Amino acid sequence: MNQKIIQVDAFTNTPFKGNPAAVCVLEKPQSAEWMQLIAREMNLSETAFILKQESGFNLRWFTPTTEVPLCGHATLASAHTLWAEGYLQPEEIANFQTKSGLLKARLQGDWIELDFPANFSEVTTPPPELVTALGANIITTVKNSLGYLVEVESASIVSNLQPNFSLLKSLAMPDVIVTSIGETDSEYDFVSRFFAPGLGIDEDPVTGAAHCCLAPFWHSKLQKNEFTAYQASARGGVVKVKYDGGARVFLQGQAVTVMKGELWD
């Protein structure tokens, strides 16, 4: 039996921008070992596997080296695939059962809104190796379940960072979100990048899960509930964020299909 696999660029409406994810629409359950092999074969930051259930879809995410508990861009890509390929009608909600609980996606015009759990941080002291690895002056350092989140002085610093990944990998928490407030003449409230060598990804192009951490962080600093954010990787991507201080974060992004194929089982 063949399994359909689709490559989607998420958090963009332009092919070859944003964050690419593979979405495998399963015809039958598969083992975690099989899914990990497919993710390694695809060699993208994430490969998503969706399986129809009585109520919604089961959704799992794998990097080339490991399964992860939450991934925003691959969820966005999965929801896009369900509507684009006719598994769901435009007015239907995509309900995903995941290791992070129930996640929902809604189609809103050209945008997809994701309903995700907020990821709260606590203030910490950065290890000297983190400062050295980033090569930038750090204003604030917090930590959460994703890793470190550090604020630097400007968007240009975020854009121009060239981390020492070997040194990052040596840390007990090797993954780090780097962020700053947007430039005064910019449409973006804040910018960020996400370095994740601990997940087998030196840099993730656009990261929904990171914005679940960034939303509470910037909500507290800027006293705002809605943001337009830019992840300043080489590919780049736009994320709209709504957060009112509660337990859920609403992320909006666009997506575009760039490739379709079949896996031979």
Same domain for 21 and 47: yes
203-222 average pLDDT score: 96
Digit-coded pLDDT (tens) for 104-122: 999 999 999 999 999 999 9
Give me the pLDDT at residue 115, please.
Answer: 95
Same domain for 90 and 17: yes
Same domain for 238 and 139: yes
Same domain for 160 and 77: no
Give me the pLDDT at residue 2, please.
Answer: 74
Same domain for 137 and 71: no
Give me the pLDDT at residue 107, please.
Answer: 97
Q: Which domain holds residue 241?
A: 122-246
Digit-coded pLDDT (tens) for 218-243: 999 999 999 999 999 999 999 999 99
**What's the pLDDT band for 265 if we cut at 50, 70, 90?**
low
pTM: predicted TM-score of the whole model, two decimal places: 0.92
Whole-angstrom Cα distance, residue 239 to residue 227?
Answer: 8
Same domain for 131 and 66: no
Same domain for 158 and 184: yes
Digit-coded pLDDT (tens) for 63-107: 999 999 999 999 999 999 999 999 999 999 999 999 999 999 999
Q: How many CB atoms lie within 10 A of CB 41?
A: 13
Same domain for 229 and 163: yes
Q: Quote the number of domains for the chain.
A: 2
Digit-coded pLDDT (tens) for 120-138: 999 999 999 999 999 999 9
- CATH at 59: 3.10.310.10
46 annotated active-site: yes
Give me the pLDDT at residue 264, please.
Answer: 78
Q: Are 75 and 48 in contact (CB under 8 A)?
A: yes
Give me the pLDDT at residue 263, please.
Answer: 87
Same domain for 175 and 132: yes
Same domain for 171 and 107: no
Catalytic residue among 33, 46, 113, 129: 46
Same domain for 104 and 46: yes
Which residue has 């709504």 as its token pair? 242
Same domain for 211 and 131: yes
Give me the pLDDT at residue 219, please.
Answer: 98
